[in-house]
Amino acid sequence: MIIGDVWDWFTTGSHWRGPDGVPTRVGEHLALSGISLGIALAVAVPVAVALGHVGRGGFLAVNVSNIGRAVPSLALLVFVAQVFHTIGSAPAIVALTALAVPPIVTNTYVGMRSVDADVVEAARGMGLSGWQMVRRVEVPLAIPLIMAGVRTAAVQVVATATLAALVASGGLGRYIVDGFGEQRYAEVYAGAVLVAVLALLTELAGGLLQRALSPASARRRAPLVPPGPPGPPGSAADTGRQTETVGAP
């Protein structure tokens, strides 16, 4: 029975040690996914934040980035490997980065454009520069949508990184590819279970991080102290109260 065979595979000590052990393969999988997601964040977030702030070019950026969704990850993986005549982690990182960019660009742009215009006007009226508005007002209010895009991208990357084994890269996909090649089907199922569990844990971690960084969470963590009456115009109390009102989510 396959369930018993998979259980035996997981309870065999040799599968948890050495270069082919589960901890090593999980580490390779996380490293591959983390590098790809990090590159996607470094490319997508600044571009989408800038376009969302100025309100121009977003339609083009979102649609260009969505090309990554239209191209199958396996096809892109093979294409990159053939173009650069290389196998290993490099083609996998390129393919996974292309997969991660679209949800990050889309959610970040939409989050920036969804910031209440009255809040932006109030911040501009208080003399905040463009960069100050982005850093202190727009990005904090857009964080829930930005993190939703990052969360979606992270789960997709972790799940799809399994294909990296097809171009001789490491990760949990090695159990599936090698298991099929040598007809060790318990290993195939074990690899699939490990990938599924890792994707679920990524989803859970992303949800917790999104909740922790959202403005609503920040308000819940704030001490429940009622605000005092405003001071005279121009005083420290009045200035602090205005700044808190504008920067508050």
In terms of C-beta distances under 8 Å and separation of at least 24 residues, what long-range contacts does 49-52 make, across chains too? 49/108, 49/112, 49/134, 49/138, 49/139, 51/109, 51/112, 52/108, 52/109, 52/110, 52/111, 52/112, 52/113, 52/138, 52/142
- Does 70 reside within a domain? yes
Q: Name the band, by pLDDT with cuts 50, 70 and 90, for residue 52.
A: confident
Q: 180 by DSSP, 3-state: which? A: helix
- Does 49 reside within a domain? yes
CATH of the domain at 37: 1.10.3720.10
- Does 224 reside within a domain? no
Question: Tens digits of per-residue pLDDT, 144-160?
Answer: 999 999 999 999 999 99
Task: Please tell me which residue, 6 or 248, carries the higher pLDDT value.
Answer: 6
Look at residue 1 in the predicted model and tell me its pLDDT.
Answer: 64
Residues 162 and 20 sit within 8 Å (Cβ to Cβ) = no
- Does 2 reside within a domain? no
- Does 160 reside within a domain? yes
- Is a pLDDT exceeding 50 seen at residue 241? no
Q: What is the average per-residue pLDDT within 181-207?
A: 94
Residues of the chain with pLDDT > 90: what percent? 43
C-alpha torsion angle, residues 135, 138, 139, 143 (rounded to 10):
150
- Is a pLDDT exceeding 60 seen at residue 36? yes
Lowest-confidence range among 128-137, 161-170, 220-229? 220-229
- Is a pLDDT exceeding 60 seen at residue 133? yes
Dihedral pair phi/psi, residue 146, rounded to 5°: -60, -45
The chain-wide mean pLDDT, for the chain, equals 82
- Does 31 reside within a domain? yes
Lowest-confidence range among 172-176, 196-200, 224-228? 224-228
Most confident stretch, 5-14, 28-37, 77-86: 28-37
Look at residue 245 in the predicted model and tell me its pLDDT.
Answer: 40
Question: Tens digits of per-residue pLDDT, 212-222?
Answer: 888 754 444 43
Q: Name the band, by pLDDT with cuts 50, 70 and 90, for residue 244.
A: very low
- Does 87 reside within a domain? yes
Look at residue 235 in the predicted model and tell me its pLDDT.
Answer: 45
Look at residue 44 in the predicted model and tell me its pLDDT.
Answer: 93
- Is a pLDDT exceeding 80 seen at residue 66? no
Look at residue 220 in the predicted model and tell me its pLDDT.
Answer: 47
Lowest-confidence range among 46-50, 65-69, 205-209, 222-226? 222-226
Task: Please tell me which residue, 171 or 75, carries the higher pLDDT value.
Answer: 171
Look at residue 150 in the predicted model and tell me its pLDDT.
Answer: 95
Number of helices followed by number of strands (H, E) in the chain: 13, 0
- Does 76 reside within a domain? yes
Considering the entire predicted model, what is its pTM? 0.80
Domain that holds residue 173: 21-219+230-247
Look at residue 77 in the predicted model and tell me its pLDDT.
Answer: 85
Residues 6 and 196 sit within 8 Å (Cβ to Cβ) = no
* The total number of structural domains that make up the chain: 1
Measured distance CA(226)–CA(109) in Å, rounded:
35
